[in-house]
Structure 1
Amino acid sequence: MDTNLLHLGALALVGVLSAAINTVAGGGSFITLPALMALGLPIAEANATNRLGVLLQAGSASLTFRSAGALPTGFAWTTLAPTLVGSLLGATLSITLDEAVVRAVIGVAMLLMLALMMLGPERWLRERPEAASVGRISQALAFFGMGVYGGFLQAGVGIFLMGGMVMLSGLDLKRANALKSLLVTLLTVPALLVFLPAGLVRWPEGLTLGLSSALGGWIGGLITLRVGPRALRATLIVVILTTATKLFGLW
């Protein structure tokens, strides 16, 4: 069988696994990004190509939430501008900084996410009906920072977005989860507008990853029921630790 077909088939399976990871803890891109790198893509191309998968997966979820009337659109527009501007800046930084710096930043981000996964995001990401909304300027700055991170790396940004919406804006988890999908979809667009002209997006790999992720959500749900959230989280922790140590040149 052609090696390229084998690679695409492997990516399709990774897409399904990332969908399963996202149903439990988020951070599915910490699975897909290392997979793209393992197939030989340079880190800049892997980072850019991963955005196609993110766009299709998050976009599919957003349409589902919208059809169910679960999107708080008014809140979305008050946070959209700083998030998009931040994403544009973050993506630009990711292709202008030296590759060694990008590797170090991604490695540190992975280790931080590893700590979060081991602690369990549910410790801080929970219902806070008593939370008072902070000022609009503070919210704008917070979402700008999340946008920069999302444009630069993307992996795990959904967890931070949900944390911001729950803890800073007092949204309940259901609305925060729906809005997270919309914001991830939209912040991916300016990042792609930076990566595409630079020729960093590999279309076959990106589309395979995206379609398998978008269509594999229900399969991911079945996997979650079969193996349980602890096994999926353990898988994510192992992948993050392995990739981070590789980025730091420890093996």
Structure 2
Amino acid sequence: MMLWEAAALVAIGILAGFINVLSAGGSMLALPLLMFLGLPTQVANGTNRVAIVLQSVSAIGNFMRAGASHIGLSLRLSVPAVIGSLVGAWLALQVSDALFEAILIAVMAGSALLMLLPQPKLDTRPLTTERLTPVIYLAMFAIGVYGGFIQVGVGVLFIIVLYRMLKIDLAQVNVFKVLIILVYSIPALAMFMWFDQVRWSYGLLLALGSMTGAWLAVKVNMSPRGAMWIKYLTLVMIAAILLRLLLG
């Protein structure tokens, strides 16, 4: 690995970790970078999980020190997501590189469009056990399948379920999202490891950046204007990556 490649992994990791904790879309930067650096698609998909797990550990540690609550409810929601992630990771290992790349392009384009939609202002309220209906558990299973398969843009799905359906405030959504992703990403990473689809040197450098970005995201209190700036920067980078993928 060349020095500039290592620097790129850390730099994109910082941005991806920051975005993943506060919003969604970090893997839309990290996964294509791993592919551009020459990793086969399945290896890139597995290697990205190293950063996802470690950045989530970093973010959860900081959230808990900051007084995050409802950890038990997050773990309940994680159970169907874990089952789904194992299904999704297994499916990812069955598809060809060409099909996976086509799916990546499609989900990146779809996620970018969803990020452009305005977020409605809802009357939010704390989550309680009785609101965890079978529909919510089924949605968590579906998110787990998707996250285990590709992870890209999974934060958008969490916002739909946790914010729009359960009407949890966005600050709490971030805590729930990060903890659930951590729990379901561990078995998904284990499956990629079992099939020797993880390049640790790349994953750990990306994770170094991601953990730093996650730490910054928890510490920084983003203003609405600042959050929009990050969002549009992400979309510009996603557009450039999509163009590069489409050009082969």
What is the TM-score when the length of structure 2 is the normalising length?
0.86
Task: State yes or no: 1:128 paired with 2:124.
Answer: yes
Q: Taking every aligned residue pair, what percent have the same amino acid on both sides?
A: 34
Specify which of 97, 100, 103 is matched with residue 102 of structure 1. 100
Deviation string, structure 1 residues 123-145 (Cα, Å, up to 9, x no partner) = 37x55349997662111111111
Task: State yes or no: 1:137 paired with 2:134.
Answer: yes
Specify which of 53, 58, 77 is matched with residue 60 of structure 1. 58
Q: CA deviation at 1:172?
A: 2.5
Specify which of 163, 175, 180 is matched with residue 178 of structure 1. 175
Q: How many residues align?
A: 244
Q: Please give the secondary structure, in 2, of the residue aligned with 1:128.
A: coil
Q: Counterpart in 2 of 1:148?
A: 145
Query: In 1, are the aligned partners of 2:58 and 2:214 still within 8 Å (CA)?
Result: no
Specify which of 177, 190, 193 is matched with residue 190 of structure 2. 193
Q: Counterpart in 1 of 2:39?
A: 41
Q: In structure 2, do the counterparts of structure 1 residues 191 and 177 end up closer, same or farther at CA, with 3 Å as the change threshold? A: same
Deviation string, structure 1 residues 16-53 (Cα, Å, up to 9, x no partner) = 22234336532111111111111111111111111111
Query: In 2, are the aligned partners of 1:44 and 1:200 still within 8 Å (CA)?
Result: yes
Give the Cα–Cα distance (whole angstroms) in 1 for the partners of residues 66 and 126 of structure 2: 26
Q: Which runs of 5+ in 2 are unaligned?
A: none
Q: What do you get for the CA RMSD once the two structures are aligned?
A: 2.7
Specify which of 117, 121, 138 is matched with residue 115 of structure 2. 117
Query: In 1, are the aligned partners of 2:143 and 2:157 still within 8 Å (CA)?
Result: yes
Query: In 2, are the aligned partners of 1:131 and 1:167 still within 8 Å (CA)?
Result: no
Q: Counterpart in 1 of 2:90?
A: 92
Paired residue type of 1:128:
T
Paired residue type of 1:85:
I
Query: In 1, are the aligned partners of 2:21 and 2:174 still within 8 Å (CA)?
Result: no
Q: In structure 2, do the counterparts of structure 1 residues 95 and 245 end up closer, same or farther at CA, with 3 Å as the change threshold? A: farther
What is the TM-score when the length of structure 1 is the normalising length?
0.85
Paired residue type of 2:124:
R
Q: Counterpart in 1 of 2:27?
A: 29
Q: Which is worse superposed, 28-37 or 82-91? A: 28-37
Q: CA deviation at 1:160?
A: 1.5
Deviation string, structure 1 residues 41-68 (Cα, Å, up to 9, x no partner) = 1111111111111111111111112233
Q: Counterpart in 2 of 1:9?
A: 7
Q: CA deviation at 1:236?
A: 1.9
Deviation string, structure 1 residues 102-153 (Cα, Å, up to 9, x no partner) = 1222111111111012224x237x5534999766211111111100111011
Give the Cα–Cα distance (whole angstroms) in 2 for the partners of residues 118 and 58 of structure 1: 25
Q: In structure 2, do the counterparts of structure 1 residues 74 and 212 end up closer, same or farther at CA, with 3 Å as the change threshold? A: same
Q: In structure 2, do the counterparts of structure 1 residues 216 and 174 end up closer, same or farther at CA, with 3 Å as the change threshold? A: closer
Q: Which is worse superposed, 230-239 or 71-80? A: 230-239
Q: In structure 2, do the counterparts of structure 1 residues 219 and 42 end up closer, same or farther at CA, with 3 Å as the change threshold? A: same
Deviation string, structure 1 residues 167-221 (Cα, Å, up to 9, x no partner) = 3333222322111110011111111111001111110110111112112446667
Q: Counterpart in 2 of 1:72?
A: 70
Paired residue type of 1:201:
V
